[in-house]
Amino acid sequence: MIAFIGRRLGLAVLLIFGAITIVFLALRVIPGDPASLILGSQASEAELAALRTELGLNEPLFLQYLHHLADLLRLDFGESWRLGADALSSTLERVPATFTLAGTALLITIGLGFPLGLYAARNAGGWGDRLVSYSSLVGQALPSFWVGIMLVLVFASALNLLPSTADGTIWGLLLPAVTLSLPFLGWLARLVRNGALEELGKEYVRTARSKGMSERVVFYVHVLRNTLTPAVTVLGLILGNFIADAVIIEVVFAWPGIGSLLIDSITNRDYAVAEAAIVLIAACYILLNLLVDVLCSYLDPRISLEAV
């Protein structure tokens, strides 16, 4: 266990280092002058030049990169010129909102995806199975931003049942959470269905039936347990995708999370906050994958962490 966690943490450091490098280069390749955004269009060339020198933007890109890495070793992403505060602290303040959205979307995905997948497996080949399968394919195919806009038009504008943007209530959380969960809900339902059908064809199921066990006991005690391992693996990936996909959903619904902060920072060339947000999202994704691997080893003793 310790050796496995050590290997994964070492790999995580390399991945985060790669993410930092890519983000550093990408943000500086994007056209635009941060000094002009900070001082405005009325600033003189002398003022712009002085600010570029203060920010280190006149240095060669490689030197900027080395200085930046030295700062990051101290967890210093710099100051946000737009927010007037520490970039990392400003980003961490948005974490609870994003995690609330992602957690609610995960609950919706599990609460609907598992029962629908099990129902489809119990009624394989029937109309219920076909309805679940076709609906899940449609849900996976629709772009999330389009689904979000349609939900706002129907439930907020036309029916006036739910708020179209975050208002601090659970009702303001419902539309963005449903929008975020919809593609993955169908994915999970199909995974549970296919996994349960695969387990039903195995030898231990025939043995359980030959001992006189009821179909309900065979399905919900034996088959369901062996379906959990791949489902848990996918749930970890889904939660990581929720955090990443929240970038779009938070903008559509004006949700005050990391995603909307990231888009605003990129638009305004706020390098420090944009990089802090991207690195934090990458770190969350890596940590979730580690937790999923450990959890799967407990659910299925056949999985050895030393072999992962």
Whether residue 301 has pLDDT greater than 70: no
Query: What are the φ and ψ backbone dihedral angles of 43, each rounded to 5 degrees?
Result: -70, 145
Share of the chain above pLDDT 70, in %: 93
The rounded distance, in Å, linking the Cα atoms of 300 and 297 is 5
Q: From 107, 287, 116, select the one nearest 187 (Cα to Cα).
A: 116
With contact defined as beta carbons under 8 Å apart, do 293 and 8 qualify? yes
Rg (CA), the chain: 24
The DSSP code sequence of 262-280 is HHHHHHTT-HHHHHHHHHH
Q: How far apart are CA 132 and CA 306, in angstroms?
A: 38
Instruction: Average the pLDDT over each of 141-145, 281-285, 289-293 and give the range with the smallest value.
Output: 289-293
Q: Output the CA–CA distances (angstroms, integers) from residue 59 to 67, 73, 79, 80, 171, in the order listed.
A: 10, 20, 19, 20, 50
| pLDDT confidence of residue 114 | 87
Over the stretch 203-230, which tens digit does the pLDDT of each residue have?
Answer: 787 787 777 777 777 777 777 777 777 7
* Residue 85 pLDDT: 83
End-to-end C-alpha distance for the chain, whole angstroms: 11
**1 pLDDT tier (thresholds 50, 70, 90):** low
Q: Token pair for residue 269?
A: 């060339």
- Which overall architecture, per CATH, does domain 94-299 show? Orthogonal Bundle (1.10)
Give the tens place of pLDDT for each residue, 162-198. Answer: 888 877 788 888 999 999 888 888 888 888 888 888 8
Where does the chain hold its CATH 1.10.3720.10 domain(s)? 94-299
For the entire predicted model, the pTM comes to 0.78
Statement: residue 308 has pLDDT above 70: no
Beta strands in the chain (DSSP E): 79-80, 85-86
Average pLDDT over residues 97-107: 89
22/29 Cα distance (integer angstroms): 11
